[in-house]
Amino acid sequence: MNTKRILAVAAVAAIAVGGGILAGHWAHGGDAGTADAASVTGNSATSKTDAVGQLWAASVTTPDGKPQSLAPYKGHPIVVNFWASWCGPCVKEMPALSALQREYAKKGIQFVGLGVDSGTNIKAFLQKVPVDYPIYVAGFGGADVARAFGNTAGGLPYTVVIDANGTVRATKLGEIKPDELRHTLDAL
């Protein structure tokens, strides 16, 4: 695949992500970005529990292709960031997520990146961009997990904060705002 074709595909993907974010913004009356736990997937505690259970059961691999489980994170506060290597806002927020991981590691909060992308793309990306938290490849099935948490627009990045009891405390469609995320994490 030549460079022009790769750039064209990346541009179309970026436009699609932007359109998804804007559609979500419009559909939610201008507040597509942040949701509290009560509005993540409706008011049903069962659906939120199902989303967390789906996360723990998700089939993921390391960027090298080794199968992994997210179940070891169960019982610990976790910030899950759904992202892709071709997503501009995803790439832009990674340094802030890395800094927050370093800041909150002492509080026992673990950040995890779930790549909604191919292992090849993620591995190549991570060779160029250092990240201070574990990155797993969820593939395009990761979008289904994100939808279970309320990401009906299917946009990226999408961030979910889960407390040690498995309760979804917040979600964010689009680039994180570090101060907003700190506020949520400080309450855990």
Classify the phi-psi angles of 166: left when phi > 0, otherwise alpha if psi is within -120 to 50, otherwise beta: left
The number of folded domains in the chain is 1
Report the CATH number that the domain containing residue 78 is assigned in CATH.
Answer: 3.40.30.10
| Structure confidence by residue, pLDDT tens digits, 127-157 | 999 899 999 999 999 999 999 999 999 999 9
Phi and psi, residue 181, nearest 5°: -65, -40
User: Is there a cis peptide before residue 157, judged by omega within 30 degrees of 0?
Assistant: yes
Tell me how far apart the alpha carbons of residues 159 and 83 are, in angstroms, rounded to a whole number: 9
What percent of the chain has a predicted confidence (pLDDT) above 70?
74
- Stated as kind and residue range, the H or E segment containing 68 is strand 67-68
State the pLDDT confidence band at 109, using cuts at 50, 70 and 90: very high
Domain hosting 11: range is 3-186
The 3-state DSSP class for residue 74 equals coil
